[in-house]
Structure 1
Amino acid sequence: MVKVTWLGTGISLVGAGIALYNRITVRRLADTAIEVIDPVTVCVPARDEAARLPGLIADLRAQRGVARLSVVILDDASADDTFATAIDAAGGDPRITVLRNDTDPPPGWTGKAAACARLADSVATPVLVFVDADVRLAPGAVATAVTELRRRRVALVSPWPRQRARSVAEALVQPLLCWSWAATLPISLANRSLRPSTSVACGQFLVFDTAAYRAVGGHAAVAASVTEDLDIARTLRRAGQPTVLVAAGRMASTRMYAGTAELDAGYTRWLWSAYGGTVAGGAGVGTLAALAYWVPPLAAVGGCGAVRRVGVVGYTAAVTGRLLARSTETGGPITRTDVLAALAHPFSVAAYLLLWARSHRARRRDALSWKGRTLNITGT
């Protein structure tokens, strides 16, 4: 038991060390008085987003520092009033165009990839930005992100938004998105690499050099992917085009899934694809997670002597790594909710593994779907 506890604690300590390195070194977008020279087009794919879209449109209309900004919104065959809501929220702003799509995606395409591809078809500006409808932006978010793209001379900047949570399930699971890279991958080193395996991207907010995006085929290159954001970053790197991740918690935020049911459906849709999409890969990661984040707290509670002391160290390291990752994401002070969620980290890992198992089961049964659309992932 001592050796197993030491092993789990060692993994936790390494994770906390990487999270500390990222907390110190990850570049953060900050709101400054920046003027962007390039014309910029912001594309917003929206399906059943009538409730969320007005907030984003208001944020886009309030953007500063981008004199030649245009916005294209696509109502992707919504079952609600997304189209009318978007028109109303645009308020006649000549910079905003609202399009409508009444058909399902073609065979071999996911809905998100097809919507993004259609939006990109109409873009002629040198900078192309994709923003999800549930994202909220500070007034300088687009300008600072585009400036980062040009300053770094890269093909893609992925500003990582702060994940907002209002339910217990969201607070347990959503911070794991940032923690999954913040506690495992030194981002400043990964940003200097062209290795596809070290790329990180968040499709909620992506900023492309348009020429580089088109050179690799755009979203057509990842048409069938349920994680098109990560796969398009990998595609760019395979083509020799650099991509970078930056923390944007002070400039952008999102409530990715609203409540337990939507969170369950959202992760079930894509989580099967993690770790190469194989059960063996997921089982291997699950074993490491159990060693690092279940064994030490169990030893701290039920062990004695050296086993308990080592377990306390391991659990403390896990909580510390979780808080450091959250701080990297938000760019602000840690809240009481953040602390409580970090203390419940073993339960977060359990929830994640349960979602992963449910996703694989749904895939085996050809039962993957999202927002009323069945996902055909045969061969992917």
Structure 2
Amino acid sequence: MRQTAGVTVLRWLSVSSLLCWLWLTCCHGFFWRTDQRLPPRRPPARWPEVAVLVPARDEAEVLPASLPSLLAQRYPGRARVILVDDHSSDGTGALAERLGAAGGLPLTVTTPPPLPPGWTGKLWALRHGVELAGTGAEYLLLTDADIAHGPDSLAGLVAAAESNGLDLVSQMARLRVATAWERRIVPAFVYFFAQLYPFRRSNRPGARTAAAAGGCSLVRREALERAGGIAGIRGAVIDDVSLARAVKSSGGRIWLGLAEQVDSVRPYPRLAQLWQMVSRSAYAQLRHSPALLLGTVLGLSLVYLVPPVATVAGLVGGRPSVLLTGAAAWALMAGTFLPMVRYYRQPAGAALLLPFTALLYLLMTVDSAVQHWRGRGSAWKGRTYPRTG
């Protein structure tokens, strides 16, 4: 009797998971497609002035691979780079000045005042950079210190904004996938982000969804001021999404897609480093809500873990209905993940391992909540932001 009841429960769970995957595949903004690239563009009649803002804290390891790419931008108009050295302890500022001496776009290296309460370090650095940029810059490119840009990246971003009347143009940088753990975690990271914030919906003017990628976001200065400036999101841990929401809710047009000339050079060779990257903001993504955490754990289990469990149980136990529904759900899961796997130039078979990666993300999310409940908040670069609610 117990075995029959267990099979019945597993059968219904596998059917529910399959229904979820049918809905996700067909009705969730086609989040799994990777065709959102820079929209059609043409050179503007006048190239607007741009200030490139780079917040940097203890970035001496990656700066030689990223900063020269910004200084070497082939931009037809006026542009300059402002690197805000956020009180680094590894000589980031001095290294930046040496790299700037090699030529290219004008470089300013500056340090902000001490971090005040209520601000995250990155946003405080960006606010300082915005002030230093002055009113002459019509656009601000907010880019992280670990992001390398192709030589025409800035020109492409500005042309896309000018040609399409966009106030925020953001590209999800292609993250590094050199090690085994990077190959297992990184493509899924972008896939899950797109599932949470479908790019097509975010790019639709009337849709409520709004998202951006903090590593590469070109914002029109007027739109930023209309949205309340950097101060309007000063305490946000997930600053890129908060910026996109602020710009879109104030009437601005935003666009987010995958990058072709923007790459992260930061290495994450060990699982512990990738774990920290995800867990530091995962619970903030759930608005620090225990109810949302519980729903996320149950949802991830149903959508990602039930299909392989049902497939194996149905095969071993000779239950064709459980086997078929579980395998069908797993196939849809792998099929929607495959475009992202190909975007990262990984073997197609890696798409079948998404349930294992999803389990890791589930554990990372729970760990993020545990750290929050312990009062550690979001820790990054030697700073801990305590919980606010």
TM-score by length of 1: 0.89
Partners of 1:109 and 1:223 within 8 A in 2: yes
Matched, 1:137 2:149: yes
**Structure of larger gyration radius:** 2
Structure 2 residue corresponding to 1:314, chosen from 325, 329, 350? 329
Match of 2:278 in 1: 267
1:357 aligns with 2:357: no
Q: Tell me the residue number matched to 1:378.
A: 388
Higher deviation after alignment, 187-196 or 48-57 = 187-196
1:202 is aligned to 2:213: yes
User: Counterpart of 1:191 in structure 2: which amino acid?
Assistant: N
Aligned residue for 2:189? 177
Work out whether residues 18 and 329 of structure 2, in 8 Å CA contact, stay in contact via their aligned partners in 1: yes
5 Å-filtered alignment, 1:56-95, equals 56-93=66-103, 95=105
CA contact (8 A) 1:159 1:205 kept: yes
Q: Shift in Å at residue 231 of structure 1?
A: 0.6
RMSD over aligned CA atoms reads 2.5
Structure 1 gap segments, 5+ residues each: none
Q: Does 1:55 align with 2:65?
A: yes
**In the alignment, does 2:299 pair up with 1:284?**
no
Q: What letter matches 2:338 in structure 1?
A: L
8 Å contact from structure 1 (residues 40, 69) kept in 2 = yes
Kindly provide the CA deviation profile for residues 62-86 of structure 1, in whole angstroms up to 9, marking residues without a partner as x: 2224331211111111110211211
**Structure 1 equivalent of residue 175 of structure 2:** 163
CA gap of 1:19–1:326, structure 2 versus 1, over 3 A, is farther
Deviates more, 1:47-56 or 1:360-369: 360-369
Q: Deviations over 1:170-229 (max 9, x none)?
A: 333222332124346553343123454x11211011110011112222211111110111
Structure 2: how far apart are the matches of 1:30 and 1:154?
Answer: 10
Q: Which residue among 99, 108, 128 is the counterpart of 2:109?
A: 99
Residue 192 of structure 1 aligns with which residue?
Answer: 204
| Number of corresponding residues | 371
Structure-2 residue corresponding to 1:347: 356
Structure 2: stretches of 5+ with no match in the other structure = 1-9
Pick closer, same or farther for the CA change 1:153–1:33 going to 2, 3 Å: closer
Letter in 1 for 2:192: S
Counterparts of 2:201 and 2:194, CA distance in 1: 12
Shift of the alpha carbon at 1:315? Answer: 0.9
- Of the structure 1 ranges 202-211 and 168-177, higher mean CA displacement relative to structure 2 is found in 168-177
Corresponding position: 1:296 with 2:311: no
1:241 to 1:20, Cα distance in 2 relative to 1, 3 A = closer
Amino acid of the residue matched to residue 214 of structure 1?
Answer: E
Tell me: CA distance 1:19–1:215, structure 2 relative to 1, closer, same or farther (3 Å).
closer
Tell me the distance in 1 between the aligned counterparts of 2:241 and 2:196.
16
| Higher RCO structure (Cα 8 Å, ≥6 apart) | 1
In structure 1, C-alpha distance between the alignment counterparts of 2:288 and 2:113, rounded to whole Å: 29
Alignment of 1:147 onto 2:159: yes
Other structure's SS at 1:276 match: coil
Q: Identity rate of aligned residues, in percent?
A: 27
Question: What are the residue-to-residue correspondences of 1:24-39 with 2, within 5 Å?
Answer: 26-29=35-38, 34=43, 37-39=47-49
Please state whether the residue corresponding to 1:159 is helix, strand or coil: strand
Residue 41 of structure 1 aligns with an amino acid whose one-letter code is A
1:139 Cα shift?
A: 1.2
Distance in 1 of aligned mates of 2:247 and 2:195: 24
Contact 2:68 2:99 in 1 (8 A): yes
TM-score w.r.t. the length of structure 2 is 0.87
Q: Does 1:227 align with 2:238?
A: yes
Task: Check the 8 A contact 2:146/2:266 in 1, yes or no.
Answer: yes
Task: Identify if the C-alpha distance between structure 1 residues 257 and 353 changes in structure 2 by more than 3 Å, giving closer, same or farther.
Answer: farther
For the 8 Å contact 1:18–1:184, the answer to whether it is kept is no
Are 1:44 and 1:72, in contact at CA under 8 Å, matched by a contact in 2? yes
Q: In 2 relative to 1, CA 185–122 (structure 1 residues): closer, same or farther, beyond 3 Å? A: closer
Structure 2 letter corresponding to 1:244: W
Contact 2:14 2:310 in 1 (8 A): yes
1:112 pairs with one of 85, 105, 122: 122
Partners in 2 of 1:155 and 1:377 — Cα distance?
Answer: 32
